[in-house]
């Protein structure tokens, strides 16, 4: 799980009921973490991504907000900022403890057709997700994965982690892709290491407006530029697990967080390369775990339910 990286917490706010199938997931780093982002899809929905450029002032972020609701769902980040500001967590802009601006990049996925029109996440979703943030969290049709779909199957939130020498690399993905995670010719996930009993896929029911969004995190001490290499590498994992990936109809966006708790070993390029390799692996595993953990919602079949 991404929370195997010390200092990283995850919270969800989910609404799945009549007329609703959407939610928000927050990856919380109250002590701050160096942040970066890489967006590869043709239809991204994002907020506060320019500040993550290595040439810009702010290096630390305090949370990443992942939400359903397409561009409307970006409002969930307002609630994340409000919760953090109440905790006096943010970039200091004045001499008093409460004079801070929380840094909260955000990305959204398209799930509008899973709810009645007008039912999308607002600031209360982000606030509630922060309030529930913990080291232990659910996978599947929760938070940003509540209304997610992946090709012909239900998508969801997945997570994985791995130890690389003295470091931990973890990832969380909200899987909502145009492409399939399961090979129609075999009925098994594209990622062979996570294969399971094959299924017969239902006809394609997915929207042509999608997006897989997520976060990769490490305890290594990285610069913003090095952190971006992690985000870039995570997209390699996305392309392994979803086919096709990065289409004009996806807004595929991955954030990277480095808490800085453990110095990066020398020589740095080799140590960084090992972390990037791990980032690709754990992001791919997160995608498949999100699909395997999902359950059927609003008539969209889940992989696990097709096994019955």
pLDDT digits (tens, 9 = 90+) for 42-55: 889 999 999 999 99
What letter would DSSP give residue 302? P
Return the SS3 of 122: coil
State the angle between helix axes of 268-293 and 224-241 in degrees (0 to 180), rounded to the nearest 10: 40
- Number of Cβ atoms within 10 Å of the Cβ of 299: 9
Place of tokens 């096709």: 244
What letter would DSSP give residue 38? E
pLDDT surpasses 70 at 69: yes
pLDDT surpasses 80 at 199: no
Six token digits for residue 166: 């003295």
Six token digits for residue 168: 């931990």
- Number of Cβ atoms within 10 Å of the Cβ of 132: 17
- Helix runs in the chain, H state only: 76-86, 123-131, 224-241, 268-293
The pLDDT assigned to 195 comes to 53
pLDDT more than 70, % of the chain? 95
The pLDDT assigned to 59 comes to 87
Distance CA 215, CA 227 (A): 11
Over residues 247-274, the mean pLDDT reads 95
CB 67 within 8 A of CB 25: yes
Distance CA 232, CA 109 (A): 19
Interval 104-147: pLDDT, tens: 999 999 999 999 999 999 999 999 999 999 999 999 999 999 99
Over residues 288-293, the mean pLDDT reads 94
CB 275 within 8 A of CB 231: no
Distance CA 284, CA 195 (A): 13
The pLDDT assigned to 197 comes to 63
b/e for 203-227, b at 16 or more Cβ within 10 A? eeebeebbbbbbbbbbbbebbbebb
Six token digits for residue 3: 């929370």
Over residues 64-68, the mean pLDDT reads 98
First-to-last alpha carbon distance for the chain, in angstroms, is 27
Peptide bond into 267 cis (omega under 30): yes
The pLDDT assigned to 205 comes to 55
DSSP codes, 69-111:
SGGGGGGHHHHHHHHHHHTT-SEE-SSSTT-EE----EEE---
Domains (range + CATH), the chain: 2-307 (3.60.70.12)
């Amino acid at each position: 799980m991404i929370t195997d990286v010390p200092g990283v917490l995850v919270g969800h706010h989910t609404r799945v009921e009549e007329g609703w199938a959407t939610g928000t997931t927050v990856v919380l780093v109250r002590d701050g973490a160096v942040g970066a982002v890489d967006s590869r899809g043709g239809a991204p929905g994002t907020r506060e991504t320019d500040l993550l450029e290595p040439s810009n002032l702010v290096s630390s972020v305090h949370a990443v907000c992942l939400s359903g609701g397409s561009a409307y769902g970006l409002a969930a980040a307002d609630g994340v900022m409000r919760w953090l500001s109440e905790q006096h967590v943010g970039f200091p802009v004045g001499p008093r403890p409460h004079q801070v601006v929380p840094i909260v990049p955000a990305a959204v996925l398209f799930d509008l057709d899973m709810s009645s029109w007008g039912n999308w996440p607002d600031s209360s979703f982000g606030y509630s997700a922060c309030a529930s943030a913990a080291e232990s969290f659910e996978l599947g049709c929760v938070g940003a994965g509540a209304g997610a779909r992946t090709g012909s199957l239900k998508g969801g939130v997945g997570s994985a982690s791995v130890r690389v020498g003295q470091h931990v690399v973890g990832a969380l993905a909200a899987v909502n892709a145009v492409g399939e995670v399961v090979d129609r010719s075999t009925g098994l996930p594209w990622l062979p290491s996570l294969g399971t009993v094959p299924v017969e896929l239902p006809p394609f029911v997915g929207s042509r407006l999608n997006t897989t969004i997520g976060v990769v995190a490490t305890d290594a001490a990285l610069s913003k530029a090095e952190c971006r290499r992690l985000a870039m590498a995570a997209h390699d994992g996305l392309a392994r697990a979803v086919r096709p990936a990065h289409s004009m109809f996806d807004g595929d966006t991955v954030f990277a967080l480095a808490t800085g708790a453990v110095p990066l070993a020398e020589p740095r390029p080799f140590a960084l390369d090992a972390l990037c390799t791990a980032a690709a692996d754990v992001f791919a595993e997160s995608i498949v775990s999100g699909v395997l953990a999902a359950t059927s919602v609003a008539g969209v079949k889940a992989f696990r339910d097709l096994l019955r």
